[in-house]
Structure 1
Amino acid sequence: MSEQSLETPLFPLYLFKDDFESVYEPSEDTFVLMDAIEKDLMIIKEMDPLICVEVGCGSGAVITSVAKCLDPNKRLYFGTDFNGKALLTTQKCGIVNGIDGCIQLVGTDLTQAIEERLKHSVDLLIFNAPYGPTDPQEVGISDISSAWAGGLNGRQVIDRFLRTVPKLLSHNGFCYLIVIKENNINEIKNIMKSLGFEMTVVLERKTYLEIIIALRFKRLPVIV
């Protein structure tokens, strides 16, 4: 494996087949997120992140691949999810892929439980958001549907997350977010600009049903 690539974690079917009845299985959007991070690996390594957080860690595929690539023992890794079964699956993913105990798992809605502890100190913030336009009442149900149910315009969870980024991200940190075209990318850009961040489209991939987009946010330069 190249130093500038992410290793896709192993999910042996005989170990994980029951997990994916209640936990979001690695899918096309998962791999778009991993590919976007891989594309930026050089600048991420130059930034030299100390604290890395994945919101909604689900299967653990992304945070596990990031930890293995960046060195699981030299940085702090956190995975949050309000689906307790997802936290267990992420833990199992770490064990199977040789980084047992390297990811601190936190049961919480988005980042609520860690916002004060990690205020302005997260260098790499990652979220494969529930972006699917759905009935607003479908959002936040504690089962596998929470992985994709995004409410009105697919933005209910995304907009809540965007407001947490300034609280968590360090001065030089990067935030990666997965969205789809229907989420109104220009509006997201304007929201983040008003919060002091610039947005970059890192990767865009058309699938059978949708166009999946990986966004990167970083703080705008401070003009003295």
Structure 2
Amino acid sequence: MDFDPVEDGLFLGSRRGLQDFLLSHTSSTVKVLTIESDDLSQVPFGVSEHTFIQVDDLITADLLSHFDDIVSFIKSGLLAGAVYVHCRHGVSRSATACAAYLMTKHGISADDAVQRLRLCRPCVSPNAGFRRQLELYERLGCRTSLDQPEFRRYRLRAAAQAAGMDLSRLTTLSQPLLVADAGLPGTAGPPAAVYRCRQCRTALFSEHSVVKEQEKAVRMVKGW
């Protein structure tokens, strides 16, 4: 059986281990979180709620932007019963998700969360990019908001990387950094400051897309 208990009600495993897990937990409500490149072909019988997050197991992939939603999903699922978190092999993506949850719940560091997971599942090994995202999540106080300059810079970098890979993912990453305007569909809520073209008054970007000189100076001192 390719799954392991993390703590009461929370299980970490592979796609292959999901069916075995469901066969052994017929008496409890089960919620499943899938973090893969492709969703399950069909949700197995016995799953009360299923959430799919499309993320590749690459060092450039963005999982941090989903951490808050992941933590909320696990928390709500544990109130109702059991939660099974999986990716393809239960090694990198799903382990990163469980680590984010442990950090939030127990107030522990990224390293401690990964080590705790390895005690119950020795194969756990988030890729280098996900490890850096867990460390950033720790610095952000285990919450993400575009009001946080460091998270805002992260989202801008992620959007820039996505632009060179899959343009469909660029929209998801960059929309919150833009501004509500008739010419920019899908954005919501006016930010504190809006920058417009002087001639046609089209909204170009918001304050969230600006890295202030003071922030740049701090990064230079810290070597960012």
Structure label with greater radius of gyration: 2
- Give me the TM-score of the superposition, normalised by structure 2: 0.31
* Higher percent of residues as strand: 1
- Give me the TM-score of the superposition, normalised by structure 1: 0.31
* Higher percent of residues as helix: 2
